[in-house]
Amino acid sequence: MTTDHAAERQHSIFRPTAPALAWTAKLAAAEDAVAEAGARAEEDRDRFEAVGAIRQLAQQILDRRVSARTAEQYRAAFARMDRTRQAPEDIAASNRNSFGYYVAAMLFCVAERVMTGAAAADRAWASGDREGWLATVAAVRQLGRLLRRYADGAARARWTMPEDGETRRGKRGQLRGLPAGWHDTMLAAMAAGKYASAAAVSYLTGARPEELATGVEVRGAGDGLLEILIRGAKVRGDAGQPWRRLTLAAIGPAAEHLVAQLAAAPDGCLMVRVASSKAYSDAMRCVSRRMWPGKPTVTPYCYRHLVSADLKAAGLTEPDIAAALGHAASVTQGRYGTRNQSRARGRIRLVAVEAARAVAPARARQPTPSARRRFGPRRNA
């Protein structure tokens, strides 16, 4: 009996008591909590790094500056994709250039949303709203997957040539299918309205509607010449001409209209300005559709292509044409009207062009010695 009792007492020393069991359970729970907190902290670090990388990619996309007008066009294109539930390769399946445009629109708009979402995530974290932070981070990461799908050349592999070939509609294709003599007919139709002088400037110079909204100065230059000063649109960094001055022979109905207006202009300067570039373009489209239903629509940009075609048919060099159109690189003029699209008669006669910047040749992309070109007799001082 004594021996058994001693053995039982010795065994009871190693038997855990209730307080000891509770302490062990708390210790295990604490260890689990520390491990869980560590895992959660690791996951949070991964989330922070992912959002940081996506934010950096979005910022790189937004650093490619676009004009306010282009930004609005991108947002409208992205809204079309969102409304129709189509990706760029679906909505622009037949044309590579359109596909590229929709990709640019998607990248720009998704990048904007990434920056907004990342800022919201920062605010949620700072306020201690973990659930809100996790939801916003998840949304940003989903946007990031969309960016990586199309950024840095990844989009090229997502467009394939249609079986029946690519549908091409370049800028200069706007002149195809227009009625013969459309340029004179449109000028005459616009002459009775408030855009008569604007249409005359478009006819002679191919000025952009946005440039007419800024205001174009017309002066007499003597010897039957007109001098037209255009302050450029689409000027970003080294791209575009801040201003250009064209000297033209005052021949034809458009020039005659401006000469008549000049006679009543104060200080010998006629300022041609439209209140809205869109309203001016819409007015010309309306006239075109009324006169030629079922035909391609005439816009101010048709005159821009026509001026390019006239200058090419006249034998001007690429830098000369680029300067006249307001480009800083001669390669850009190649996208506009070709010599075989020029007017059969009544072509504009450009005597001289002066531009703010030297024009970079198409191949070497080096500035030409001077931005000033003369193609005829120098006007009187």
**Tens place of pLDDT per residue across the chain (381 aa):** 455 555 555 555 555 566 666 666 666 666 566 666 666 788 888 899 999 999 999 999 898 888 888 899 999 999 988 888 888 888 766 677 788 888 899 999 999 999 999 999 999 999 999 899 999 999 999 999 988 888 766 666 666 655 544 444 555 566 778 888 899 999 999 998 999 999 999 999 999 999 999 999 999 988 889 999 999 888 877 788 999 999 999 889 999 999 999 988 888 899 999 999 999 999 999 999 999 998 888 999 999 898 988 888 888 888 889 899 998 887 776 677 677 777 767 678 889 999 988 888 765 444 444 444 444 544 443
Looking at the structure, do residues 192 and 330 belong to the same domain, yes or no? yes
In a domain, 15, yes or no: no
In a domain, 87, yes or no: yes
Here the tokens at position 253 are 């109905």
Q: Is the dihedral angle over the CA atoms 174, 177, 178, 180 positive or is it negative?
A: positive
Encode burial over 137-167: b for 16+ CB neighbours within 10 A, e otherwise.
beebbebbebbebbbeeebeeebeeeeeeee
Among 134, 158, 182, the domain boundary falls at 158
Among 158, 182, 214, the domain boundary falls at 158
CB 202 within 8 A of CB 300: yes
Looking at the structure, do residues 265 and 314 belong to the same domain, yes or no? yes
In a domain, 58, yes or no: yes
Paired residues of 272 in beta bridges: 216
In a domain, 381, yes or no: no
Among candidate residues 179, 175, 169, 216, the one with its CA nearest the CA of residue 300 = 175
Looking at the structure, do residues 241 and 367 belong to the same domain, yes or no? yes
pLDDT at 199: 95
192 to 43, 103, 104, 115, 217: CA distances (angstroms): 71, 43, 41, 50, 21
Looking at the structure, do residues 217 and 322 belong to the same domain, yes or no? yes
pLDDT at 381: 35
pLDDT at 380: 42
Among 105, 135, 158, the domain boundary falls at 158
The domain that contains 370 carries what CATH number? 1.10.443
In a domain, 284, yes or no: yes
In a domain, 20, yes or no: no
Looking at the structure, do residues 270 and 315 belong to the same domain, yes or no? yes
pLDDT at 68: 87
* Residue 372 C-beta-side C-alpha neighbours within 13 Å: 3
Helices and strands of the chain, counted as H and E runs: 13, 6
What lies within 8 Å, CB to CB, of 216 at 6+ separation is: 201, 205, 207, 228, 229, 230, 231, 271, 272, 273
pTM of the predicted model as reported, rounded to 2 decimal places: 0.57
Looking at the structure, do residues 198 and 104 belong to the same domain, yes or no? no
Looking at the structure, do residues 48 and 152 belong to the same domain, yes or no? yes
For strand 350-355 and strand 243-249, is the pairing parallel, antiparallel, or unpaired? antiparallel
pLDDT at 276: 93
Looking at the structure, do residues 152 and 178 belong to the same domain, yes or no? no
Looking at the structure, do residues 189 and 298 belong to the same domain, yes or no? yes
Looking at the structure, do residues 176 and 152 belong to the same domain, yes or no? no
pLDDT at 69: 84
In a domain, 257, yes or no: yes
Helix (H) or strand (E) holding 228: strand 225-231
CB 272 within 8 A of CB 197: yes
Looking at the structure, do residues 204 and 344 belong to the same domain, yes or no? yes
The domain tally of the chain equals 2
Residue 68, domain extent? 35-158
Looking at the structure, do residues 67 and 135 belong to the same domain, yes or no? yes
In a domain, 182, yes or no: yes
pLDDT at 21: 61
